[in-house]
Each structure stands twice: as C-alpha cells, then as structure tokens.
Amino acid sequence: MQELTHYIDGAHVSGASGRFADVMNPATGEVQAKAPLASTDELNRAVEVAAAAQPAWAAVNPQRRARVLMAFVGLLNRDMDKLAEALSREHGKTFPDAKGDIQRGLEVVEYCIGAPQMLKGEYTDSAGPGIDIYSMRQPLGVTAGITPFNFPAMIPMWMFAPAIACGNAFILKPSERDPSVPLMLAELMEEAGLPKGILQVVNGDKESVDAILDHPVIQSVGFVGSTPIAEYIYSRGCAAGKRVQCFGGAKNHMIVMPDADMDQAADALVGAGYGAAGERCMAISVAVPVGDETADRLIEKLVPRIEKLKVGPYTAGDDVDYGPVVTAAAKENILRLVQSGVDQGAELVVDGRDFSLQGYEDGFFVGAHLFDRVTKDMDIYKQEIFGPVLSTVRAQSYEEALSLAMDHEYGNGTAIFTRDGDTARDFANRINIGMVGVNVPIPVPLAYHTFGGWKKSVFGDLNQHGPDAFKFYTRTKTVTARWPSGLKEGGEFHFKAMD
C-alpha cells in the first residue's frame, strides 16, 4: 500500500499525525494509497517555511518569476501523459478529460507569464507643485488554497500560478481523495527553478483547513467546493482578517428556444450534462425547453444519444464517454436523489439505476439518467446532484424559462440555444448569472478573462484567473512624493551641493 506524503520545504515529508485518508481507485472500488492528514503543527511548519522563503522570492523581479512559469509550462507538456494517468487513476475521469484538466490549468499558467505587464502600477507626474504620485502592486506574503477533487490539476494551477507570479508563497491543501497530481505539480515547479518553500502541499482534512483559516501569517485563502463549506470558509477566514474568495455549488440551466438547432442542442446537452460523469461545477444539469413541442423534439433527440453513452474505466481509452464517480458515498447520494425524483413525480425517461459494468462491479459507476417534467419543488431541481443526471423542466414561454434560472439560488453558469440574436442579447443582458453561453453549453472563460458565478455560487468580490487574480494576490500601495532638492530664487533653482 503506497503511503503518500506532504511536500514541505522542497522535500517529501511523511505524515506525523497518525491519521490517514483512503485514496480509492474509483473504477475498482479498491484502496490504492493512503494520504496523510496533517495536524495543526504540520501546517504551522509549512507556514513557517513559507514565511521565511517569501521575502527573497518577492524581491525577484517579475520577469524572472515569469521565466520559472515558462519553464514549468515546458515540463507540464513533457509530463502530460504521466500526470493524466495519475489523475485518471485517482479521480476516475477518462484520459482525454484528465488531459483537458491539465491543459486548462496550463493555460492560466501561460497567462501568468505576463506578470510583468499585469503588475505595473500607475504614475502621475506633477500632481501638485513638485509632487508625483505613483502606485505599486505588492504581494500579500503567504497565501493558501483549498481545492476540490473534481479538478485536481486545473484548480490548483488557477490558484498557485498567479499567487506565485505576484511574489507570494503558496500553501496548497488539495482534496485528500486525489492528492498525487498536486504533489507532482509541486515537484515540477521546483524543477522549473522555483525556490524551496514557495509552493508547498499539505494534505489534510478539517483540522488543517481550520489551521489555515486561523493562522495569522496566512494573508489570503482561495476555495472551490460546495456552498455550505464555501460559506464556512468565507465567514471564518474573513473574521480572521484574511482576503478570501470562495466558489460554491451550481445548478446550471440551458434554455432551448423553439428556433434552436435541435441536433446541436442535444449534442451540447449530452456533452455538458454527462461529461466527466457530471462532476463539474459548470455541468449543465437542467434543460429548459420552451414550449411542449420543443420539449418533445428535444427529448426525442436526447434519448438515443444518452442510451449510446459508454461508461467505463479510463484504461479503456477513447472508447469511453465517462468514468466512475469519485467515491461510493458520491454514488449513493446520486442514486438517492434519482429515487427522490421518481418518488416526487418526475418522469424518468432514461433509467441508469441498474447499471453495472462486468468486471468492475465494485467500482463507483453510475448509469446515465434523464428526467422529464421536473418541477421547481423537487429535490433533483433544487440540489446540486454532481452526477450523470439531466433534468428537463418544461417552460411555456421565454419569460418563464428566464425566471427559472434567475430565481434559483445558484448562479454559476447558464446557456441559451437559439438562432435569434435579439433573444440571445436580451438573455445575456438580463440574466443574473456570472457566466453565460450563447449556443455554448459550458461557458468557461479563457484564461485571460475571469471565472466566477453570482448568488450562492460565490463568496467574495474577485473572481478566479484573468486580471482579477492579480488583484486578489496583491495589495496596492500609493506613494505621494516631493523632492525639495533646491530653493527657487529670482525665478531660478539653486540646487544644494551634494555631500
């Protein structure tokens, strides 16, 4: 049985708390490794190392810091397959999905290579008589991130790349369910030239999370996960005087107008609803066709596509559409919600409850499900399922469809499929959701824009990656300077002699 480690001060460090979490192989249901769960003392040790290393890193000019990220990009590309294999083995997602996870993180690293441009301040010459004013963007110091299981490569890079580019040290607390890739990323950053102590990985659970939130040296905390935990981390971190950004749950609606290309809409829903087994915060989990005729046409297109989906282990290669969910508990929760949908009167059009994969009976595989005639009061509509389940809520008008998305407590992402520009423009302008797709089912912005939702999907006023990341990981210092180096007499300056 492999025993994983922490990564502190440039070295793999065995856990000292005596507590461990099982790291499963979701395809087989077997325990494949043990991840140490750090004590408060172990977390404090990482903070001590980071605090000692950070000032020297902050003194390195931004261009040289960017060169480390440039080298890191090369190493990521070199080791892409190795990283993806490790990611798939612990998470369960298909190999192409795993490579996509790494690629989207890599793109943010590439954006952060532009740190010298992003960190430039402002300057006003002669704001007053002999007075100049200028601003500087300076690092916070020691920063931290608490990342989820569903993107064990992408989201850590979304956090540590801008933090480090800005001159901070960063402590990463990854999910204990799939911690191997974050450890590998830390190794690659140091191979790229990052000094020891600037990026450290501390595996753990609530004890280490609370230690991060309470530690006075840690200046900022980023989090991605469920809304209840996001609220907890945001309130506790802010109470401790930290800068905090937390991203929570989602219930993403895709409105399908009568004029939409129905084949395009159906293909988009299958990819966005069932890809990665639905374990994505930007997954489409609610289809909203406008009008019963539209709904009937959409369901007719969806059913054969969903029934053809191939579910299996990542080792099956490109012949698999999605893999298992991450844990047995996740599978149990998905099936519980599916049953609640049946009990509450929704029509289960595609039933994946009895799905079983020969040779992998103990794996955490969940068949694809499609519900029709779902209503707003049902649990499958109100709750984030985080599994391969698509709910169809029929709307009788565009305004009703719009209100469904606007009235839901989550506001992460949404989409509309239509050929009508006026409808699309109205939707984009009026919807109270942070990321909007027009004929794009998963509207995740590219690295040079910011990622973030509204309402109970986010806590904090700055988003991830893009320009907001450089704002989050720096503070602005403004200097007003006057240099009385001479005395004006008779219209001329007489400068003092320099010693």
Please report, as a single letter, which amino acid is at residue 22. Answer: D
Across-strand partners of 207? none
Which residues, at least 6 apart from 272, have a Cβ–Cβ distance to it below 8 Å?
A: 254, 282, 283, 284, 415, 441, 442
State whether CATH 3.20.20.70 applies to domain 252-438.
Answer: no
pLDDT at 490: 52
281 a catalytic residue: yes
Q: Which of 471, 474, 449 is nearest to 461 (CA)?
A: 471
Is the whole-model pTM more than 0.75?
A: yes
Which residues, at least 6 apart from 456, have a Cβ–Cβ distance to it below 8 Å?
A: 227, 248, 249, 409, 410, 411
DSSP-based three-state secondary structure for 453: coil
Using CA atoms, how far apart are residues 435 and 433, in angstroms rounded to an integer?
A: 6
Low-confidence ranges of the chain (pLDDT < 50): 495-499
Using CA atoms, how far apart are residues 161 and 342, in angstroms rounded to an integer?
A: 45
How do the domains of the chain map onto residue ranges?
Answer: 2-248+466-480, 252-438
Q: Which of 373, 380, 470 is nearest to 158 (CA)?
A: 470
> What top-level class would CATH report for the domain 2-248+466-480?
alpha beta
One of 112, 166, 246, 281 is an active-site residue; which one?
281
